[in-house]
Amino acid sequence: MDYYVAVLSIMGVHILLGLSVYLVAITGQLSFGQQGFYAIGAYVAGVCTALWGTHLVPALLLGMTAAGLIGFLVGFPTLRVKGLYLGIATFGFGEIVRLAFLNIKYTKMVGGKLVGPNGAEGFRHVSYIYDRGFTQVQYLAVIYAAVIVVAGLVHLLERSKLGAKFRAVEEDEMAAAMAGINVTAVKVMAFTSGGFVAGLGGALFVHYSTYVDHDMVALPLAVASVTYPMLGGLGSFWGPILGAAFLIFLTEGLRFLQEFRLVIYGALIILTMIFRPRGIIDEAVMMRIRSLVRRKGAPSPAA
């Protein structure tokens, strides 16, 4: 049971990471820097509970707020670049954050242990949930409460006028601007909200793992986070959720193959992308699901 809870917990934080990429992607921007926000959330929330002794909830809120504010600031300079150039710029941001945490040292003795971000040594002893007697299942509930709230908000966004503006900017920036949409505001809003969500994911993760270091938020995490919405589909917020679930279960399911699993893992992703180039849940699938739901919800002609 604990094992499955562990897999679901890791999946939960990766879903948040996938949703953060998705929020930026539905405005037509591709970010390879969401792991930077994830790192900020992890370090800030970890400092709150491990060094300052704050409660978990304010720590999570502070972690996500710090990441969201940085997201707001990052949103402006990235307005000047698009496509691949934006991808490189955002990856550059992620690397800046990673290298900053490689060098930041802010430690103090807590209960006879040296606690806090300690440069390349990492940030150890973020043991709030275990010290406070949280069971694995209880913390899983915390993670999925966050996932449900975030997914619900993204769902509401997609059905709102603001969501339509996001999609309009994705479809054609110029046309959206001519229709009176403030493209700058939409893009910055996407980065800010993406920052909030990734920061929340990082804050939840560090309390689960008790440890974070600069290497855990490097390029492989950036690639994984972008893969979730790409593989799952950009048609709905279900896409990154499905993508994260698919890849995390694949990682676990193929573990018995040891060194050969990366070959199979890669091949399965390639096959999926060949047969579903816009992801598993693309716009066409979403339209079909919506029409199905509408048909079921409509009164029958005989009635």
Based on the shown chain and the rule CB under 8 A, indicate whether residue 277 belongs to the binding site for other proteins. Answer: no
Cα 265 off chain centre by: 21
**Options 57, 80, 256, 294; binder of other proteins; rule CB under 8 A:** 256
Q: Are 207 and 45 in contact (CB under 8 A)?
A: yes
Based on the shown chain and the rule CB under 8 A, indicate whether residue 144 belongs to the binding site for other proteins. Answer: no
**Options 55, 88, 121, 159; binder of other proteins; rule CB under 8 A:** 121
Q: Are 50 and 116 in contact (CB under 8 A)?
A: yes
Query: Rounded to the nearest whole angstrom, what is the least distance from the CB of residue 22 to other proteins in the complex?
Result: 20
2 or 295: CB nearest other proteins: 2
Ramachandran region, residue 133 (left: φ > 0; alpha: ψ -120 to 50; beta: rest): left
Cα 195 off chain centre by: 9
| CB environment 16-51: b (16+ within 10 A), e (fewer) | bbbbbbbbbbbbbbbbbbbbbbbbbbbbbbbbbbbb
Q: Are 205 and 212 in contact (CB under 8 A)?
A: yes
Stretch that binds other proteins, among 29-37, 56-64, 180-188, 243-251 (CB under 8 A): 243-251
Q: In sequence order, which residues have a C-beta less than 8 Å from that of residue 153 and are 6 or more positions away? A: none
Identify each DSSP E strand in the chain by its residue range: 108-110, 113-117, 123-124
> Any idea how long the chain is?
303
Based on the shown chain and the rule CB under 8 A, indicate whether residue 109 belongs to the binding site for other proteins. Answer: no
Stretch that binds other proteins, among 65-73, 121-129, 159-167, 179-187 (CB under 8 A): 121-129
**Options 129, 200, 203, 234; binder of other proteins; rule CB under 8 A:** 129
Query: Rounded to the nearest whole angstrom, what is the least distance from the CB of residue 6 to other proteins in the complex?
Result: 4
Based on the shown chain and the rule CB under 8 A, indicate whether residue 156 belongs to the binding site for other proteins. Answer: no
Q: Tokens 């704050």, residue?
A: 54
Query: Rounded to the nearest whole angstrom, what is the least distance from the CB of residue 135 to other proteins in the complex?
Result: 6
**Options 80, 109, 133, 174; binder of other proteins; rule CB under 8 A:** 133
**Options 100, 130, 153, 282; binder of other proteins; rule CB under 8 A:** 130
Task: For 124, list phi and psi in degrees, rounded to 5.
Answer: -105, 165
Structure tokens at 61: 């809120």
Based on the shown chain and the rule CB under 8 A, indicate whether residue 271 belongs to the binding site for other proteins. Answer: yes
Based on the shown chain and the rule CB under 8 A, indicate whether residue 55 belongs to the binding site for other proteins. Answer: no
Based on the shown chain and the rule CB under 8 A, indicate whether residue 259 belongs to the binding site for other proteins. Answer: yes
Based on the shown chain and the rule CB under 8 A, indicate whether residue 269 belongs to the binding site for other proteins. Answer: no
Based on the shown chain and the rule CB under 8 A, indicate whether residue 147 belongs to the binding site for other proteins. Answer: no
Based on the shown chain and the rule CB under 8 A, indicate whether residue 251 belongs to the binding site for other proteins. Answer: yes
Measured distance CA(154)–CA(157) in Å, rounded = 5
**3-class state of residue 113 by DSSP:** strand
Interface residues with other proteins (CB under 8 A) are 1-7, 10, 102, 120-122, 124-127, 129-131, 133-136, 208-211, 213-216, 218, 220, 249-259, 261-262, 264, 268, 271-272, 275
